[in-house]
A and B are shown apart, each in its own frame.
Chain A
Amino acid sequence: MKTDDLIRALAADTLPEAGLSGRLWSVLVPALAVALTALWLMLGVRPDLAQAFGNPVSLMRWVLTGGLALVSVRAALVLARPEGSRVVRLWPLAAVAGAALAMLIWAFVTTPAEGRQMATVGKTIWTCLVAIPVLSVLPVGALFWALRRGATSVPALSGAVIGLAGSGAAAAVYATYCIEKSPLFYVTWYSLAIMIVTIASAAIGARILRW
């Protein structure tokens, strides 16, 4: 076949494909709604949810996890473009990580030495470490589904950023149940759960985001 013949066939195909961003939000929002509903049905809501939003230290868990999800979704959309790895800005991700670290240090300094261990260990480590990855499955799956239509030139990195976005959002969902008060707990264990999902997503991305 001559290339000009191929071009004729390609040019005749004028059906438009939906843009990535619209496609992404149209599946991510329902995925998060389902995750939230499932969490509330299985584990319940923290009884003091309304007050938790009013308390700055507690509110930070949503600011950090939600912020992580938003900047990661943006980065994932850029990375889904073939030239994205050359134009993407990853410093917002570093900024969120820096803020989380600052929060951790602040809590360490302001918590009396004898209370630190108890504040860090809390009562729900395992619930947290299991629930966040489980709640991540739908949002991460939705993001992969949407961005497989993309054309990333860095599949593993794209997968990792998708993992950060999905698990960050899942952590924000989980925070509506989590009653642990101290940033020593939530920064430490949310971060670990998010890391686990991110590493798994990088491995998945390396396989399924090729094109």
Chain B
Amino acid sequence: MAEQMDDWGQLLAAANAGDAQAYARFLQAVAPMLRGLVRARGGSLGEAGCEDVVQEVMLAIHLKRHTWDQAAPVRPWVYAIARYKVVDAFRSRGRRIDLPIEDFVDVLPAAPGRDPTEAADMAKMIGMLDSRSEMIVRKIGLEGASMAETGAALKMSEGAVRVALHRALKTLAILRERHIE
């Protein structure tokens, strides 16, 4: 457990220094914990519904990653974001959930690795983006295209793709606020 703890912190620290691969590994490590937590508490949402909540939390972790103080342990930071967003997600679906932070320690993470569940909300939100942002998120996320490939396909510079992706992800969080209330 202690080893795992250092692991998350090291990955996120490397990510904040610009290492995209470390960042992907960090997010892949966090997802099963979230999935285990949400499924344990929100089974009645169904697997796809639970995965929607997991994805909302993942997006929040991404958009708030600058609020992690590298001198502080990373797990309490992750848990606090998860707690806030999971409670929020359940509330916006008309449910109340009580989620003491102590529960996070006992969560059995879901199986690591790829999860085949198709969630619906994020795809809906991506469909509401302007068409160029939508293309960028789809190409990079669903098709696994690189920045350079995406830029070439859309006749944009790589730098412009980067900025557009960054803005698109922020917009997704705003759209979610407006549409799942």
Bound pair: A and B? yes
Interface residues of A (CB under 8 A from B): 1-20, 80-83, 86-87, 149-151, 153, 211
Expressed in whole angstroms, the Cα–Cα distance for A194 and B67 within the complex equals 28
Q: Is B31 in contact with A3, judged by CB distance below 8 angstroms?
A: yes
Q: Is A19 in contact with B66, judged by CB distance below 8 angstroms?
A: yes
Number of contacts between A and B (CB, 8 Å)? 124
Instruction: Count chain B residues whose beta carbon lies closer than 8 angstroms to a beta carbon of A.
Output: 54
Expressed in whole angstroms, the Cα–Cα distance for A18 and B123 within the complex equals 29
Interface residues of B (CB under 8 A from A): 16, 18, 20-21, 23-24, 27-28, 31, 35, 51, 54-55, 58-60, 62, 64-69, 72, 76-77, 79-81, 83-84, 101, 114-120, 122-123, 126, 137, 140-142, 144, 147, 162-163, 165-166, 169, 173
Q: Is B117 in contact with A82, judged by CB distance below 8 angstroms?
A: no
Chain A residues with Cβ below 8 Å from B140 are: 8-9, 12
Q: Is B163 in contact with A15, judged by CB distance below 8 angstroms?
A: yes
The contact of A17 among B23, B65, B72, by CB within 8 Å, is B65
Taking the closest CB of chain B, its distance from the CB of A9, in whole angstroms, is 3
Q: Is A153 in contact with B24, judged by CB distance below 8 angstroms?
A: no
Task: Give me 11 other A-B pairs in contact (C-beta within 8 A), A5-B142, A10-B169 excluded.
Answer: A1-B118, A3-B58, A3-B115, A3-B117, A4-B115, A9-B169, A19-B66, A81-B68, A82-B64, A82-B67, A83-B77
Q: Is B24 in contact with A18, judged by CB distance below 8 angstroms?
A: no
Expressed in whole angstroms, the Cα–Cα distance for A173 and B7 within the complex equals 47
Taking the closest CB of chain B, its distance from the CB of A208, in whole angstroms, is 12
Expressed in whole angstroms, the Cα–Cα distance for A5 and B122 within the complex equals 11
Chain B residues with Cβ below 8 Å from A1 are: 55, 118-120, 122-123, 126, 141-142
The contact of B84 among A7, A9, A18, A151, by CB within 8 Å, is A151
Taking the closest CB of chain A, its distance from the CB of B57, in whole angstroms, is 10
Chain A residues with Cβ below 8 Å from B115 are: 2-4
Q: Is B67 in contact with A5, judged by CB distance below 8 angstroms?
A: no
Taking the closest CB of chain B, its distance from the CB of A206, in whole angstroms, is 14
Closest to B118 in A: A2
Q: Is A11 in contact with B27, judged by CB distance below 8 angstroms?
A: yes
Chain A residues with Cβ below 8 Å from B142 are: 1, 5
Chain A residues with Cβ below 8 Å from B35 are: 3
Expressed in whole angstroms, the Cα–Cα distance for A81 and B67 within the complex equals 5
Q: Is A81 in contact with B165, judged by CB distance below 8 angstroms?
A: no
